[in-house]
């Protein structure tokens, strides 16, 4: 399978495992897991006929390790980024003092008043690395990097979770914990 097909299959998996499982005839359990045979069938119905080996290749090569296969290869789920309600059983963790969020200038006015909101997703996504946050912001234009005083938030009682693929997740970030550029 070439890189381009891998990316297409990965996009299908995001759709099927994070956002609209019902639309492709896929069922997720409460932990976000779907049966691999039914995901392969759904993929084939939607024009992505791939073998189990190819699915493993997509999971292994995914740039952000978005998906995880169970050890017996019977089930698959997305590690984060869901808009459907799932309980992934994230373990709460203590974040570093500062985490980063990449966004774009046009959102800053609203972020200054409302803070960071999770929007369609289940959490606000934060990163320990500036470069990662910059890439996230870049999807929407010239990236603007925000710092989040995560450890202070945590000390004030806000829960943080680290996803399997290294993304820090939290419910919401109020403006007082955000350091805006040039401040
Ligand atoms: C912005 C991708 C206005 C926020 C990425 C972002 C990441 C506000 C957008 C992961 C706001 C939401 C998550 C407010 C937040 N007013 N705008 N109050 N609060 N925003 O995609 O963090 O490819 O839901 O800054 O790489 O960009 O899906 O979140 O610009 O890891 O695996 O609203 O998604 O990963 O956008 O990205 P998103 P995100 P995947």
Q: For each of the domains in the chain, give its residue range(s) and CATH number, in order of start.
A: 3-78 (1.10.10.970), 99-179 (3.20.170.30)
Q: 53 C-alpha vs ligand 1 centroid, how far in Å? A: 32
CB 127 less than 6 A from any atom of ligand 1: no
Residue 17 DSSP label = I
Residue minimizing CA distance to atom 17 of ligand 1: 107
Please indicate whether residue 50 or residue 91 has the higher confidence score (pLDDT).
50
- By DSSP bridging, strand 124-126 and strand 168-170 are antiparallel
Taking 90 as the threshold, does the pLDDT of residue 183 lie above it?
no
Q: 148 C-alpha vs ligand 1 centroid, how far in Å? A: 14
**Strand blocks (E) in 41-109:** 67-69, 75-78, 99-104
User: 10-16 long-range CB contacts below 8 Å, 24 or more apart?
Assistant: 10/58, 10/62, 10/66, 10/67, 12/43, 12/46, 12/48, 13/39, 13/43, 13/58, 13/66, 13/67, 13/76, 13/78, 14/66, 14/78, 14/81, 16/42, 16/43
Q: Where does residue 9 rank: exposed (0-12), middle (13-18), buried (19+ CB within 10 A)?
A: buried
> What is d(CA 179, CA 153) in angstroms, rounded to the nearest whole number?
13
pTM of the entire predicted model? 0.81
Least confidently predicted of 14-18, 85-89, 124-128 = 85-89
pLDDT at 56: 97
């Amino acid at each position: 399978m070439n890189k381009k097909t891998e990316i297409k299959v990965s996009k299908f998996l995001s759709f099927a495992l994070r956002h609209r499982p019902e639309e492709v005839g896929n069922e997720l359990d409460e932990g976000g897991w779907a049966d691999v045979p039914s995901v392969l069938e759904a993929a084939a119905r939607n024009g992505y006929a791939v073998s189990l080996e190819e699915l493993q290749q997509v999971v292994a090569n995914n740039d952000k390790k978005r998906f995880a296969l169970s050890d017996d290869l019977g089930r698959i789920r997305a590690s984060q980024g869901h808009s459907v309600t799932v309980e992934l059983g994230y373990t709460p963790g203590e974040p570093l003092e500062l985490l980063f969020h990449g966004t774009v200038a046009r959102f800053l006015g609203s972020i200054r008043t409302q803070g960071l909101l999770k929007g369609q997703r289940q959490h606000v996504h934060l990163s320990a690395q500036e470069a990662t946050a910059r890439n996230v912001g870049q999807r929407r234009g010239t990236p603007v990097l925000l710092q989040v005083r995560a450890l202070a938030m945590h000390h004030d009682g806000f829960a943080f979770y680290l996803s399997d693929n290294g993304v820090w997740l939290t419910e919401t970030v109020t403006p007082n914990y955000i350091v805006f550029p040039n401040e």
